[in-house]
Amino acid sequence: MSKITVRAETAGDIRAIDVVNLSAFEGEAEAQLVGAVRGSPGFVPELSLVAEFNGRIVGHVLLSKVHYRHAEGEQDILALAPMSVVPSQSHRGIGKALLDEAVQRARDLGFAAVVVIGQPHYYARFGFLPGARWQLQCTPPVADEMLTAMELIEGVLRPGGRIIYPPLFAAIF
Ligand SMILES: CC(C)(COP(=O)(O)OP(=O)(O)OC[C@H]1O[C@@H](n2cnc3c(N)ncnc32)[C@H](O)[C@@H]1OP(=O)(O)O)[C@@H](O)C(=O)NCCC(=O)NCCS
């Protein structure tokens, strides 16, 4: 039986990752964002993950640093974006395998929280909670219900804190 394996990207995967993102999303913005993040200070090489199925790269997820500012201080946490699975291979648990591994790696690296802007119903099953729970604000602004978050260190998210995405994310907001 074929197995889904998830591993960190290597230099040889870049074209295949492009293809996955171009096939999963309508335009080129997400594929371009991955390239831009790769060249930015927020890139964490261990957190750009590919999923292989039957020896082919069929999925990708990127977690990168965003700034979190609250009344008592500030720190880098992680944002998940984008995540993609080639349409022909969806609904096999590849998205779940990517997310489980990404969250585990983020925890192992000592990051305190992960935020995601996307369909709240999809991310809820992995433990992401509505940002409204912490009155989380976002720069640039997004609809409240689209912002969800997961604490990897309990209590790190404070009421009224703000997530600040690097400007290069503007392309997908
Ligand atoms: C979202 C995505 C990564 C899921 O990948 P996947 O490998 O199919 O995910 P899994 O197999 O682990 O889970 C599938 C389940 O997710 C749910 N799901 C998939 N896309 C969803 C969405 N946009 N909103 C809510 N739930 C969704 C479905 O309930 C599905 O359950 P089912 O298989 O019982 O029908 C994939 O559909 C994709 O690449 N979509 C286009 C790009 C995108 O929207 N990315 C996320 C935002 S960055």
Domain with 18 in it: what CATH number?
A: 3.40.630.30
How remote is the CA of residue 71 from the centroid of ligand 1, in Å?
35
What is the model's pLDDT at position 8? 98
Determine the atom of ligand 1 nearest the C-alpha atom of 83. 48
What is the model's pLDDT at position 39? 97
Per the listing, tokens 């060249």 go with: 39
Residue nearest to atom 39 of ligand 1 (CA): 84
* pLDDT bracket for residue 173 (50, 70, 90): confident
Q: Which residues line ligand 1 (CB under 6 A)?
A: 24-25, 81-85, 90-96, 118-119, 121-122
For 126-150, how does the pLDDT look when each residue is reduced to its tens digit (9 = 90+)?
Answer: 999 999 999 999 999 999 999 999 9
| Full residue range of the structural domain in which residue 72 is found | 4-172
For 59-85, how does the pLDDT look when each residue is reduced to its tens digit (9 = 90+)?
Answer: 999 999 999 999 999 999 999 999 999
How remote is the CA of residue 95 from the centroid of ligand 1, in Å?
7
What is the model's pLDDT at position 4? 96
For 25-39, what is the mean pLDDT? 97
Nearest 10 degrees: Cα torsion 100, 60, 2, 107:
-20
How remote is the CA of residue 151 from the centroid of ligand 1, in Å?
22
* pLDDT bracket for residue 1 (50, 70, 90): low
| % pLDDT > 90, the chain | 96
Rounded-to-integer distance, Cα 118 and Cα 98, Å: 16
How remote is the CA of residue 74 from the centroid of ligand 1, in Å?
32
Determine the atom of ligand 1 nearest the C-alpha atom of 99. 12
For 116-120, what is the mean pLDDT? 93
Number of structural domains found in the chain: 1
How remote is the CA of residue 84 from the centroid of ligand 1, in Å?
8
Rounded-to-integer distance, Cα 61 and Cα 51, Å: 9
For 91-113, what is the mean pLDDT? 97
**Chain mean pLDDT for the chain:** 96
